[in-house]
Structure 1
Amino acid sequence: MAEVQKKLKVVVSLDLGPEVMPLLYNQPNLDVVVWPHESASGKEWLLKNIAGADGCIIMLFEKIDAEVFDAAGPNLKVVSTMSVGYDHVDLKELAKRGIKLGNTPDILSDSVADSSVMLALMAGRNTKQATNVVEKGEWPGWGWSPYGLCGPQMSPNSPQDIRTVGFIGFGRIAQATLARMIGFGYTRCVYVARSKDPARAKEIEQTIKARHPTLTTVQRVELDQLARESDVLYILAPGGPETYHIVNETFLKQMKKTAVLVNNARGTLVDSDALAKALKEGWLWGAGVDVVEGEPNVTVDHPLVKEPRCVMIPHIGSATWESRIGMGTIAVQNLLAGLAGIPLVAEVQVSKV
C-alpha cells in the first residue's frame, strides 16, 4: 500500500478573491487555512492558526515578528507578503531562521504612479476645499470670484517656465511617475536615492535621458537641494530607520511656497506634525498623502485631516483590479516556489538587507 503524502499547511491571512484563491485550492498537496473575510484577520487569529505551517501569505498591515515565527514552529519555509514593502516583517528573525521572503514589486508600478500624479493634481488644485463646498451644500451661497480656489498649475505656462519634479527614492514607481510628469511638460528631474555610487547614478541618468529625450536634467542631489528645487515632490522610498522622518521641519522650510508634496510610500517618512505646520504657515502649497504614520488609526482630529490643503486617501495607491489581482497572483507564486525549494518569482534577499 502506497504511503499517503502529508499535505503542506499554508496560512493565508486574508482571502485573495476568486481570481487568485483557486491557484492554492487546486494544489492537491496543500492544506489551505484562510481567513475568509474582507476585513483584517488580526494577529490573534494568525498566532492561533499558523502553528505547524510550512508557508504563509500575509498583508502589509500585519506585524510578522519573533512571536509569529515561534508560533509557526520549525516547518515554516516561506513568508509571502502581498506588498512591495516589507518593513512589517522582522528580517533579522527571518535570516536567523533561514526563512525565505517574497514580495510583489513591479506589478503595481503603474497604478501607484497614476495615483501619485492624481494626488499631486488634487492637492495643487484645492480639491479638498472645492469638494467640501459642494458636499456641504455651500455652492448656492458660495459666490464665484476670479481667484477663488485657485492653485498652482501642474503644467508649465510657457516654454520659459521650467518645472522641476523631485523624488525621494528613484526606483520603478518613481521612474513610472516621472514618465507621466514628462507628459505634463516637466524637463528637469532631481532625486535622492539610497545608493551613493556615482557610477550607478550616472548609468541610471543616462538610461532615463535616452528613454525621455525631452528631459534636460536628471540629477542625484542632496536633500537640501531637492527641497529647494522641486515644484512637485514625490516620496517613493522604502520605510525603515534610514528614512524615518526624512521629511521634517528643516526640510519643509526649504520648499517653494508653490510646491506640492506627495507621499505614496510609507507614512513614517514624513513628520505629520511638521507637514501640518508647514501647510498652515504656507511653507509649501499643498500635500497629497496615501499613507500616514500610525495608520489606520487616523481620525478626524489628525492634524493632516484637519488641514484644508492636505488631500488624504486611505492607502489605496495600488487599488486597481489589475494590480491587486496581479499582486495576489505573485504572492501565491512566491509561496509555491518557496514550498518547492526553488527560486521565488520576487524574493527579498534577507541576508543583504
Structure 2
Amino acid sequence: MRTVVGVALSRKTARPPTSTFRIPFQPSLPLHNWSARRFTDMSQSGRHKVVVCRDLGPDAMSLLKATPKLDLVVWPHDRGCDRTWLLDNVPGSTGLVVMLTDKVDSEILGRAGPSLKIVSTMSVGYEHIDLKAAAQSGLKVGYTPDVLTDAVADLSVMLALMASRNIGIATALAREGQWPNHPWSPFTLCGPQLSTIASSPTRKVGFVGFGRIAQATLARLVPFGITHCLYSSNPSSPTNHERDAELARAYKLQSVTKVDVDELARESDFIFVLAPGGRDTYHIINEKFLKQMKRTGILVNASRGTLVDSDALAKALREGWIWGAGLDVVEGEPSVTIDHPLVKEPRCIIIPHVGSATLETRTAMAVRVAQNLIAGILGGSMPAQVDLSGYR
C-alpha cells in the first residue's frame, strides 16, 4: 500500500507525507474481524488508485493501508475537499471515498473515467451522488446506514428537551451575563413537559417517517411516560398492524398507530421528522401542517433540511402557532448565517448537522466506508450497498 496526500504518488517518492487526524481522543473500536484478505482481486490488473476526500481516522485508515494493491490519494486538509483538487486527482481512480458535502456528479464521474468501480460515502443519505449516472456507468455505491441509529436517536430526544424547555433562551441569558438582571417569576422560561405527570397523564408523540431511527427514538421516549405513538410513512407501504401491536405491548403504550400527516399534526404533542429526503418528502412540513399543530407543540427535525419549509416554520414560531423547534438540519445548509430567519427565532434550537457526531459512531461509520470500498474494489459482498436497480 502506498499513501500520498494531495498529489498522485510517484514511484520516485521515497517517503510520502501522511495526513493527520486531529481529534485528540482516538477510540479503538473492533473491526468485527473483517479482513480484505478474504476477497480476490477482480481485475488482476495491478494496483488500484483510491481517492479519499477526508482523513477517516486511525481505524479506517489503518484498514485501507493494510489492504494490498491500494494507492491512497488523500485530501490533506481538515476541511471540506476542494472540488478542483478532486477533479485533478480523480482521473484513473478505481475507488472514491466522499462525504455528504462532496458532490459526485456526471463531471466527477466522467473525469474519473472507466477505471472507477465504486463510490463509498460516509453518510446514510446519498443525495449528493448522481445515482442515475453511477448506475449507467456500472458503478457500485456504498453508504453507512444503521451504525448511526443510536446517536441520532439520542440527539433527537435532546433536541425535543432543549426546544421544550427554552434552553436556547436560558443559555443565552447565562452566557451574556444577564442572569443577575433577569427577573424570576413562577412561569419564567417555562415550557411544555416531555414526561407525563399526575396532572398531565397523557403524552402523544408523532413520527414523520417510522424507520430504524424513529423506532430507536421511540424506545428512548418510553421512560418519559409516553402513552401514544402516531406515525406517518410511505402511503404506498401497507400498515404493519402486527409490528405496531408488538411495539405497543413491548413498550406498554396504549397505542402505536399509522395516521395521515394531518391527523399526526393535530394530535401529537411532540413531532419528530425522521423520514428520508427526496421529491416525495420535500416540504412535507409546510404552513398547512404547522397551523394544525398544537400551540404547545414541539417540532424536531434530525433527517433532512428539505423536509421542512424554513419560511413557514419561522412564521409559525414568530406568530405562536407552535411552541418551539429543534433542528439538526436546515434546508440550504451549511449556508445558514446569522441572518437566516430561523436563527433569529429564540425558540428555535439549531445545531449544525451533528446527529452522528460521537467518537464511537463516526469511527464505526468510517470503518464501514473502508469496508465498502475494499469489497467494491476487490470483489465480494459490500456491507452496505445502495440499490441502483431503479436508476438503470
Quote how far apart the aligned CAs of 1:47 are: 1.3
Question: Secondary structure, in 3 states, of the residue corresponding to 1:14?
Answer: coil
Deviation at 1:5, TM superposition (A): 5.7
Match of 2:141 among 98, 101, 125: 101
1:14 deviation in Å? 0.5
In structure 2, give the amino acid aligned to 1:234. F
Pick aligned residue for 2:174 from 126, 131, 134: 134
Give the Å deviation of 1:117: 0.3
**Structure 1 residues 36 and 195: alpha-carbon distance in aligned structure 2, compared to 1, 3 A threshold:** farther
Is 1:175 the counterpart of 2:215? The answer is yes
Q: Of 372, 383, 390, which residue of structure 2 is paired with 1:334?
A: 372
Q: What is the 5 A alignment of 1:45-194? A: 45-158=85-198, 161-194=201-234
Residue in 1 that maps onto 2:356:
318
Q: SS of the counterpart of 2:119?
A: strand
The answer to whether the aligner puts 1:290 opposite 2:359 as a matched pair is no
Assess if the C-alpha contact under 8 Å between 2:163 and 2:347 holds in 1.
yes
TM-score, normalized by length of structure 1?
0.95
- The normalised TM-score by structure 2 is 0.86
Alpha-carbon distance between aligned partners in 2 of 1:350 and 1:30, rounded to the nearest angstrom: 26
Question: Match for residue 22 of structure 2?
Answer: none
The answer (yes or no) to whether the contact 2:118–2:373 under 8 Å persists in 1 is yes
User: Does the aligned pair in 1 maintain the 2:294–2:322 contact within 8 Å?
Assistant: yes
SS at match of 1:279: helix
Structure 1 counterpart of 2:269: 231
Residue 201 of structure 1, aligned match among 209, 233, 240: 240
Deviation at 1:202, TM superposition (A): 1.9
1:158 Cα deviation from its structure 2 partner:
2.2
> Aligned with 1:303: secondary structure?
coil
Q: How does 1:20-35 map to 2 (within 5 A)?
A: 20-35=60-75
How far apart are 1:161 and its partner, in Å?
2.3
Work out whether 1:11 is the aligned partner of 2:51.
yes
Is 1:241 aligned to residue 273 of structure 2? no
Distance in 1 (alpha carbons) for counterparts of 2:49 and 2:233: 40
| 1:275 corresponds to | 313
Corresponding letter in the other structure for 1:208: L
Moved more, 18-27 or 201-210: 201-210
Aligned to 2:382: 344
How far apart, in 1, do the equivalents of 2:243 and 2:105 lie? 35
Q: How many residues align?
A: 348
2-side partners of 1:217 and 1:160: how far apart? 18
**RMSD, aligned α-carbons:** 1.4
Paired with 1:99 and 1:82, the residues of 2 have a C-alpha distance of 17
Secondary structure at the aligned position of 1:348 is classed as: coil
* Structure-1 separation of matches of 2:76 and 2:247: 44
Task: Classify the secondary structure of the residue corresponding to 1:19.
Answer: helix
Distance in 1 of aligned mates of 2:197 and 2:45? 69
The 3-state SS of whatever aligns with 2:376 is helix
Distance in 1, Cα, partners of 2:242 & 2:138? 34
What is the distance in 2 between the residues matched to 1:249 and 1:197?
26
Take 2:58 and 2:343, find their aligned partners in 1: how far apart are those partners? 35
Aligned to 2:17: none
Instruction: Return the alpha-carbon distance in structure 1 between the equivalents of residues 180 and 161 of structure 2.
Output: 25
Q: How far, CA to CA, are the matches of 1:135 and 1:9 in structure 2?
A: 49
Distance in 1 between the 2:59 and 2:378 partners?
22
**Deviation for aligned residue 1:341:** 2.4
Aligned-partner SS, 2:128: coil
Identity of aligned pairs, percent? 56
2:258 matched residue in structure 1:
220
Per the TM alignment, residue 258 of structure 1 is displaced from its structure 2 partner at its CA by: 0.6
Runs of 4 or more consecutive aligned structure 1 residues displaced over 6 Å after TM superposition? none
* Unaligned stretches of 5+ residues in structure 2: 1-43
- Residues of 1 paired with 2:83 and 2:233: CA distance? 34
